[in-house]
Amino acid sequence: MLDLTSKVRRAREARFIVGECADDLRSRAALLGCYASILRDVTDAHEVEFQLRLSGRRFPFRMRRSDIFTLGEILHEKQYQMVSQLPRAPLIIDAGANVGVTALWFLWQHPDATVHAFEPEPTNFRLLQANFGRHSQVVLNQAGLGAERGKLTLHLGEHGAMHSAFGSGGRSVEVDCLTLGDYVKERGLARVDLLKLDVEGSELDVLRGFGPELSRVGVIVGEVHERVVDVAAFYAYLKQAGFEVIRRIGFLDGEHEGVHGFEAVQRG
């Protein structure tokens, strides 16, 4: 259940999401239903379909009702709004794509972008595929990312955005794991304009998996999960690789959840 402060915040968020982003009455009703449902159950997994209109572009979208939290964080809180300038048609790697809300944000902000999206968890990937499987600007990869190629045990959280390689007990699933160093070489990606990291504690492993190919990346934006990641080692690795951290970002629930955001730029 949400406390009073959270309810007030969600009401403000809902005014924006429903009032400014929903494309039609049916979509407004579906999104309002999501907000109503999380007042009772913050993990409601019933799926809904609606259409968003962002800067004149229409995006059909499918998600669980509980994914309204992610939709609000990215579209309303603008957690991935950056200081750095990207090229007109940037190449973006979305590490931890979930159901596709971040890809939605990037295509809203950069209409000519190409997004390579990675999501290992089967239900999340099914929804990601429903949303962007036929979209010419989004390349979908059902795989996790790490320091080595192989298999990865993914521990499943109670919410679709909380699955992690770190944990014990409970439900888990074995997934394919790739390294981004191999991926950019196999795809012939000479330059990655933006790497977005939201990998629930695997941040440093994903960077290590780039190896020397990390020099191809211009900007990194993402989350650091402080209860899992060695924060000092993470930022030391970025510095050694030639990145300057230009922002550390506090999130509304960041202190409670032990997570903060950052933006780093390649200076090397």
Per-residue pLDDT of 103-137, as tens digits, reads: 999 999 999 999 999 999 999 999 999 999 999 99
Mean pLDDT over residues 27-38, rounded?
Answer: 96
Reported as half-sphere exposure (CB side, CA atoms, 13 A), residue 256 has a value of 4
**Burial class (CB within 10 angstroms; exposed 0-12, middle 13-18, buried 19+) of 1:** exposed
Mean pLDDT over residues 21-33, rounded?
Answer: 98
The whole-model pTM stands at 0.94
* Mean per-residue pLDDT over the chain, rounded: 93
More confident residue, 249 or 32: 32
Say how far apart CA 103 and CA 116 lie, in whole Å. Answer: 9
- For the chain, domains (ranges, CATH) are 1-77 (no CATH), 79-266 (3.40.50.150)
Q: What pLDDT is attached to residue 236?
A: 97
Q: What pLDDT, in 10s, does the model give residues 213-225?
A: 999 999 999 999 9
pLDDT band with cut points at 50, 70 and 90 for residue 168: low
Q: What pLDDT is attached to residue 257?
A: 80
Q: What pLDDT is attached to residue 175?
A: 93
Q: What pLDDT, in 10s, does the model give residues 198-246?
A: 998 899 999 999 999 999 999 999 999 998 999 999 999 999 999 999 9
Q: What pLDDT is attached to residue 160?
A: 62
Among 248, 154, 264, 149, which Cα is nearest to 201's?
A: 154
> Phi and psi at residue 217, in whole multiples of 5°?
-90, 130
Using an 8 Å Cβ cutoff, are 71 and 101 in contact?
yes
Q: What pLDDT is attached to residue 2?
A: 64
Is residue 164 predicted with pLDDT exceeding 90? no
pLDDT band with cut points at 50, 70 and 90 for residue 252: confident
Is residue 48 predicted with pLDDT exceeding 80? yes
Angle among Cα 71, 74, 80 to the nearest 5 degrees reads 160
pLDDT band with cut points at 50, 70 and 90 for residue 178: very high
